Structure 1
Amino acid sequence: VSWVRQHDLHILTVGSYTYTSDQRFKSLHLEGTTDWTLKIQYTKKHDTGVYECQISTEPKLSLNYTLNVVVAKAVIIEGEKLYIQSGSIINLTCVITDNKDPPIYVFWYHNGKMINYETDKGIEVVTDKGPTTVSKLRIENAKSSNSGNYSCSPSYSDSANITVHVLDGDKPAAMHHGQHTSQGSTITCNVVLLLITWFLAHTLCLETRYNLSGVWNQPS
């Protein structure tokens, strides 16, 4: 019995021997039975496709199986960057969707170091598993040392990342929201004031000419 991957006609296993260099593929057979099972460890998105079980009879017998690999998605809803004042609380929320089964684990990393269990540093991780899994990271009394890259890494999914900036002083320019709107409002206000000033000056000029002559002098 052989297993063949259809999209490239690659022979994966022959009998109990793995015929491919990709050792994720194995053929399982229990002596005395007619069942031959293809096992794929650590499945990936590109493993999706049709797999053919071939029996070396004459004529050859075969049976096709379609494998769909669903890739879960992880998103940190706070975005790509977060600015927070020193002494505040860091709250990060990771949402994992499109997972057939809840992830076995959800690990949080700070600059490459796993921090799920560092409760002595004011770090708390709470994960609610389900069709949509939500994992929340909370850090009390944020310090400048808490700045850096944070990753949410569920099993069976790519990681989601965010850069956190803990500020000791004033907010950076990137945090001054509405600056463009304020400038636009100021320009509009100046134009209105200019028109009002011109109208008052023009009216005053006409009144002055009338008072001096007693009649209106229309311009020629």
Structure 2
Amino acid sequence: MMGIPVSKAKILGNPELFIKSGSDINLTCVAIQAPAPPSFIYWYKDGRLINYSQRGGINVLTERQTRTSKLVIARATPADSGNYTCSPSNSGEFIDLYYRSDGVIPWSWLPDQASVVVHVIKSEHRAAMQHETSASSSSHSWSLFILLAILIFGIR
């Protein structure tokens, strides 16, 4: 099997995000194992290349040297819910599928991309929001517990 070195993509954070309607969607894609920084990192929503002019409020910042791309969608609505995918321009791998008797070697292009499912919700589910983390709520719980313990044992 012959091949060429390729980039692999990774979207930072959870594979599924819940965003409050009206908030911004912030996604960061990193091209890892890249032999060279990719020229572009493409973003897709539900398998379609994101068109910046259709909706407006969509910004992409790609840093070639750090091999990262940030997708920001301002003022998200439920219509922005979907499967978001990033794919570096030099991702994919040529692999040998099979050898034919005539010596021709057919190849297939297999893109290596990363995806995240985004749900834009109207209700207030604070624990599910992108900006909330379990670590911060856990530390708040411990702080409250310690404060209560001091008050209870300090009174006696």
TM-score (norm 2): 0.64
Partner of 1:193: 151
Cα 1:148–1:194 change in 2 (3 A) is: same
Return 5+ residue gaps in structure 1 as ranges.
1-45, 49-68, 199-220
Partner of 1:150: 84
Deviation at 1:89, TM superposition (A): 2.7
The Cα RMSD (Å) is: 2.9
Matched, 1:133 2:70: no
Deviation at 1:94, TM superposition (A): 1.9
User: Kindly, what percent of the aligned residue pairs are identical?
Assistant: 38
Once the two structures are superposed, residues 37-79 of structure 1 have per-residue CA deviations (whole angstroms, 9 ceiling, x without a partner) of: xxxxxxxxx525xxxxxxxxxxxxxxxxxxxx32312222344
2:18/2:128 contact within 8 Å kept? no
The alignment covers a number of residue pairs equal to: 131
Partner of 1:184: 142
What is the DSSP-based 3-state SS (H/G/I as helix, E as strand, rest coil) of the residue aligned with 1:70?
coil
Cα 1:191–1:73 change in 2 (3 A) is: same
Matched, 1:160 2:94: no
2:8/2:88 contact within 8 Å kept? no
Return 5+ residue gaps in structure 2 as ranges.
92-111
TM-score (norm 1): 0.48
Deviation at 1:144, TM superposition (A): 0.9
Q: What amino acid is the match of 2:83?
A: N
Flag the structure with more relative contact order, 1 or 2, with Cα contacts below 8 A and sequence separation at least 6. Answer: 2
Deviation at 1:146, TM superposition (A): 0.6
Separation in 2 of the partners of 1:194 and 1:105?
A: 59
Residue 119 of structure 1 is aligned with which of 44, 48, 53? Answer: 53
What is the DSSP-based 3-state SS (H/G/I as helix, E as strand, rest coil) of the residue aligned with 2:75?
coil
Separation in 2 of the partners of 1:166 and 1:185?
A: 31
Once the two structures are superposed, residues 100-144 of structure 1 have per-residue CA deviations (whole angstroms, 9 ceiling, x without a partner) of: 3444653211122221x34121134454545x5333323232111
* Matches for 1:74-89 after TM superposition, within 5 Å: 74-89=9-24
What is the DSSP-based 3-state SS (H/G/I as helix, E as strand, rest coil) of the residue aligned with 1:120?
helix
Q: Which has the larger radius of gyration?
A: 1
Separation in 1 of the partners of 2:114 and 2:137?
A: 30
Separation in 2 of the partners of 1:101 and 1:152?
A: 17
